[in-house]
Structure 1
């Protein structure tokens, strides 16, 4: 059956008036649940870290956090990295609960002497800390390990026992994120290790080129081997909470190489220790370029260099003597 529709009347569009609102509509701001959700997500990541709690006090900068970063408890070996075979490693034979570090075979010897280089002493409140004279050295810390006959309470197992201080990621005034402790830290006390992917030098060079002007998280394990054979730690995608430690030209912490598998000269740990007594809540910093030589590296600030913002009286004005912390030869 067909249906007949009445023909619509024509109207002049110019004569058609639409009613106007008596007040301007302003959409309300939605509740900011996203930032809170991101903060809770990151706190969950921090809960996975071994040891005392790691806190997150960056409510207004949550969106700047790299959520693709993964916290790890040891190095992640990349292709091409070959550890020394386990059969080459050995431990001490002290057969006591706690080693006498003056005769234990783990600490290194003074050159041309039978005397051992003892790294640790007992500090305040029974804490084992680095000796003052050792902190002035450029020496590897050789600790006892699971291969040794001593017990886990041996004073030469400081780094092996792990972090003992509570840490907090916070937002600095002018340098992005930073790291501080909720505990007072005494001079020589162990804080934590720097971790990440362990790379060959060639892979590290390729990554350095690819990241362009972004921050570098590369540290060379060049303490005992020459530049061509060195492995490199990359803390960009994987690592520990120490990746948030900022540079200072007047630092309160220092990075020391530490070995537990003494036969391997290419793979060892990078451990942070306090250089001075650090009150709770003070930012933890270290020198990104501790071997800075004004004669070799120059006193003038490179206009293309990464600017230093530590604001210390002895500030060098730049983090490195060139634009990037390069791993390649000049």
Structure 2
């Protein structure tokens, strides 16, 4: 009788936790987020808090709003009614990568070589907007163009101070997630995962990685206090511009998404991923706080688990792993070219 009573109480508690979690999911802005579990009776922790944007902790500061500038030569109606039309007029692209493949004129080649050597203004060189504009194939509208999709180049979007209008072609990630996702319990022992309810096209935006933005010192303290190396999977260093801006390690901020964030917390690792994370900035003068956005790096059919490479590096960085040591975490992604270990 006692055992039956305990079982009933446990079942009631589990049901309450599940209903409460689903209730909270319904309050998250954007397209619906679903919860699915036919593996066991567990539910993600109610201690996790869903937030719409970063929460800046002690010692973390964004660049002053006065430092944020917008494009002033553009307008909402420049021909196709899509906002910015010409990269040479969009001031938001000042620090965007130059499309070197389009520099063919001898005089421009010489100017570009001088620019690379001595620095200066790059606005006169050919560049690309990061997203396919409205009017292209429906599968491409708003998706990353190959110039960005197949690289690690930072993306600079227009902002509220721009004159290009609310629906400029160069605004995307800032509007938030528009795809319907499902948090599900994986049957392969990999915990919770995330998948989409509809097909995702190559280059389509999924969502950002959110959490607490903390100092490097605080990130080190939290990682050392953790009992598992898995803590590293929730920590993202905002170090994209560390080299170009000569930032010291202690100056770099870190995003901790373990206890608060968005559904992207549940995206698992895979050595052959279908998603990739990109740097997205709305203030070209803020090199320390920017968004980390997930995009589909290939076509992803509905129901396929979303994955990215936890050890994803810029092209110049090595992908080799050290031999596993004590406490090493094995990789369970099952990919053909699996590296076997996540953290060694």
User: What displacement does 1:301 show?
Assistant: 4.4
CA RMSD of aligned residues (A): 2.4
Could you say which residue in structure 2 is the equivalent of 1:312?
335
Q: Which residues in structure 2 correspond to 1:110-121 (within 5 Å)?
A: 110=98, 112=115, 114-121=125-132
- 2:287 corresponds to: 265
Tell me the secondary structure at the aligned position of residue 30 of structure 1: helix
Shift of 1:30: 2.6
Q: How many pairs align? A: 298
Residue 181 of structure 2 is aligned to residue 201 of structure 1: no
Matches within 5 A, 1:6-21: none
**Secondary structure at the counterpart of residue 96 of structure 1:** coil
SS of the residue corresponding to residue 180 of structure 1 reads strand
1:5 maps to none
Residue matched to 2:106: none
Indicate the larger mover: 136-145 or 178-187.
Answer: 136-145
**1:232 is matched with which residue?**
254
The alpha-carbon deviation at position 64 of structure 1 amounts to 4.8
> What does residue 155 of structure 1 align with?
169
Q: Residue in 2 aligned with 1:79?
A: 58
SS at match of 1:55: strand
Structure having the higher helix fraction is 2
* 4+ long deviations beyond 6 Å: 292-296
8 Å contact from structure 1 (residues 120, 130) kept in 2 = yes
1:181 touches 1:280 (CA, 8 Å); kept in 2?
yes
Report deviation, 1:151: 1.5
Determine if the alignment matches structure 1 residue 167 to structure 2 residue 184.
no
Correspondence for 1:43: 22
Question: Aligned-pair distance for 1:47?
Answer: 1.1
- Segments of 5+ residues of structure 2 without an aligned counterpart are 78-82, 99-111, 116-121
Does residue 1:143 correspond to 2:157, yes or no? Answer: yes
- Cα distance change of structure 1 residues 62 and 117 upon mapping to structure 2, 3 Å threshold: farther
Cα distance in structure 2, aligned partners of 1:277 and 1:25: 53
Structure showing greater radius of gyration is 1
Which stretch of the first structure deviates more once superposed, 166-175 or 105-114? Answer: 105-114
1:108-157 per-position Cα deviation (integer Å, ceiling 9, x unaligned):
14274522243111454263100123112111110011111112211111
**Secondary structure of residue in 2 paired with 1:133:** helix
Task: Tell me the distance in 1 between the aligned counterparts of 2:274 and 2:2.
Answer: 55
* 8 Å contact from structure 2 (residues 217, 250) kept in 1: no
Alpha carbons of structure 1 residues 101 and 34: separation in structure 2 relative to 1, 3 Å: farther
TM-score by structure 2 length? 0.80
CA distance in 1 between counterparts of 2:283 and 2:3 reads 66
* Pair 1:70-2:52 in alignment: no
